[in-house]
Amino acid sequence: MIRSIAAVLVFVVASAVAAPAQDRRVPTTNEVRLSYSPIVKHVAPAVVNVYAAKTVQTRNPLFDDPIFRRFFGGGPGGLNQVQRSLGSGVIVDPTGLIVTNVHVIEGADEIKVSLADKREFEATVVLKDPRTDLAVMRIKDGAAFPFLEFANSDTLEVGDLVLAIGNPFGVGQTVTHGIVSALARTQVGVSDYQFFIQTDAAINPGNSGGALVDINGRLVGINTAIFSRSGGSQGVGFAIPANMVRVVVASAKGGGGAVRRPWLGATLQTVTPEIADGLNLKRPAGALISNVMRDGPAAKAGLKAGDLIVSIDGQDVDDSNAFDYRFATKPLGGSAKLGVMRAGREMAATIALETAPDAPRDEITIQSRSPFSGARVANLSPALADELQLQNIDTGVVIVGTDDGSVAGNLGFQRGDVIQEVNGTRVDKTRDLDRLSRTPSNGWRIVILRRGQKISAMFGG
């Protein structure tokens, strides 16, 4: 189809150049009939508008003034206010399974979707994967729905034609067109897996979660971010590749509460020009292993710290982000062949594609009066450590989140903080922390591990 379009365009341009100025004429119907309409008619019914609403409590700041409270009392606890957000989604299964972005529906109490034919349905969240910023929802109605098939996003090439469909600025379903501007973009910063399709098809606020499709009407990506100095489209948009979306959808169909992906059991770093010089490489490329976990797949495959991964199943690995993406999209249960450079020699390693071992997380929210009040904590396991991207540690107690307005949140505790000691006592399990936080104290000496650095802090009682 691309060749036929190109041929017609070349003919029209050549005729225009050859013809004298006085022979200008209205083009015939056949000369101007080229259209994306057939693709849009096929794709549009499967792209939905997403409306999410959540209730938040607001408080009049005047009630924080002690003089105001003296005359008017403590005041109400707060007023409930409904916040609404909008975005887009794509139906990927005839049962009404929808893919969108996590940031579109995060914290929502109610989600509704509107189809191109104006039908509206309530939707429930089946799975959220913050690591990819992808969420899967299901329409409550059990009817058969139009859906899009996945393309193999690895076959995309720079210059391929694509269409973006979504709900920009809430104006309703909108179609824009462009090309694939770049592949494997890694400096976007909106998820753990930095491997995006870049396009110049206009993407604006509200397009998040919408479809990026090829000229065959297949889903090649989920639009998720833009680079903009104005807040609107400036021709630099990013989409999550369909091969990653497929993995998340498969986990949702399998009934799991989390995405199951292969676990390497090693820490990687990108090769800098300085490292490349030290390894006598022609250019900075590959993923360098900096640490190997005991008894993990990498260790069992014979990999060591200092090994450089240069390919996976014959596909070149340019950096650690590229490896993470390629490895995470491999099907579980089999194996992958890694091309490795060790001490200047090429070698191959076969690694098992298996999930990280998990254990009961015993997740609780600390309620006692302490610096940890409002912190949600869990027992670490290799699976949770991999999920939180923690390096060189897979046991202990970790903060997985803090409640809005909580003491822990206000004190600056962060998701991924590993709590090691409280008042000189080692913390191994969530129940240890719960017990220690209930023990009255005039002061709190706390030791945490944050991004590999040990931090000691002192808080008043």
In the annotated binding site for substrate, the residues are: 103, 133, 206-208
Residue 35: phi, psi to the nearest 5?
A: -160, 150
Distance CA 78, CA 59 (A): 4
Binding residue ranges = 103, 133, 206-208
Whole-number Å distance between alpha carbons of 81 and 60? 12
Q: Which amino acid is located at 417 in the chain? A: D
User: How many of the other CB atoms lie within 10 Å of CB of 66?
Assistant: 7
Q: Which residues pair with 57 in a beta bridge?
A: 80
Question: How many Cα atoms sit within 13 Å of 242 on the Cβ side?
Answer: 21
Closest CA to 451 of 365, 392, 364, 380: 392
Tell me the CA end-to-end span of the chain in Å, nearest whole number. Answer: 72
Instruction: Give the number of residues written for the chain.
Output: 461
In a 13 Å sphere around the CA of 135, the CA atoms on its Cβ side amount to: 26
- CA–CA separation, 360 vs 345, rounded Å? 42
What are 174's two structure tokens? 């909108």
Tokens of 319: 């950096």
Provide φ and ψ at 431, rounded to 5°.
-70, -30
Print the SS3 string covering 240-257.
EEHHHHHHHHHHHHCCCC
Q: Which of 133, 214, 386, 434 is catalytic?
A: 133
Q: What is the DSSP string of 390-431?
A: --S--SSEEEEEE-TT-HHHHTT--TTPEEEEETTEE--SHH
Find the radius of gyration of the CA atoms of the chain.
Answer: 26
Q: Would residue 214 show up in a list of annotated catalytic residues for this protein?
A: no
Distance (Å) of CA 309 to CA 15, 30, 323, 348, 392: 53, 53, 8, 9, 19
List 88, 103, 114, 417, catalytic entry:
103
User: Which of 123, 86, 78 shows the shortest CA–CA distance to 103?
Assistant: 86
Identify whether the C-beta of residue 248 lies closer than 8 Å to the C-beta of residue 132: yes
Active site residue 133: yes
Three-state SS for 94?
A: coil
Rounded Cα distance, 93 and 101, in Å: 17
The 10 Å Cβ neighbour count of residue 255 is 8
Q: Examine the residue annotation and report whether 42 is marked as an active-site residue of this protein.
A: no
Report the phi/psi class of residue 258: left, alpha or beta, with left for phi > 0 and alpha for psi in -120 to 50.
Answer: beta
Helices (H), 20-107: 37-43, 66-72, 102-105
**Annotated catalytic sites, by residue?**
103, 133, 208
